[in-house]
Amino acid sequence: MGGDHHHHGPPYKVPDYRTYKVDENSPELLQIQRALAAQGLKDPWLRNEVWRYNRQLIGPQNWSTTWGRIMFRKFPVGLALAAGTVALEMAYDSYNGSGDHGHGHGEHH
């Protein structure tokens, strides 16, 4: 079950971890590495995640890029889904005669 029925590859390719190292280009991971080192610990798998955090690959992460990504990538999809939901609900209500028309609430005209 499941699996790759259409012989397509994954949606992205994870780079080889040996090509990266935890440094100033991935400040979040560098902070984790330093916190672990302060306790005498080391995470040998930390560099496997560098490709997700490397500023040379993903660009700077700041308030404007984060909100820009949300507003221009995510917001239009959410707005379209909300509008579609409202349209379907209105069509369903009009087709089935739903809605409050004063029936059965003690209102006799």
pTM, two decimals, is 0.42
The predicted-structure confidence for 54-69, as pLDDT tens digits, reads as follows: 777 666 566 566 677 6
- The ranges assigned to domains in the chain are 17-95
- Asked whether the beta carbons of 48 and 17 are under 8 A apart, the reply is yes
φ, ψ of residue 74 to 5 degrees: the values are -95, -40
For the record, the structure tokens of 81 come out as 């889904």
- Give the mean pLDDT of 71-95: 90
What's the rounded Cα separation, in Å, for the pair 23 and 3? 37
∠ CA 83-79-97, nearest 5°, is 15
For the record, the structure tokens of 70 come out as 């949300």
Residue 31 pLDDT grade (very low, low, confident, very high; cuts 50, 70, 90):
very high
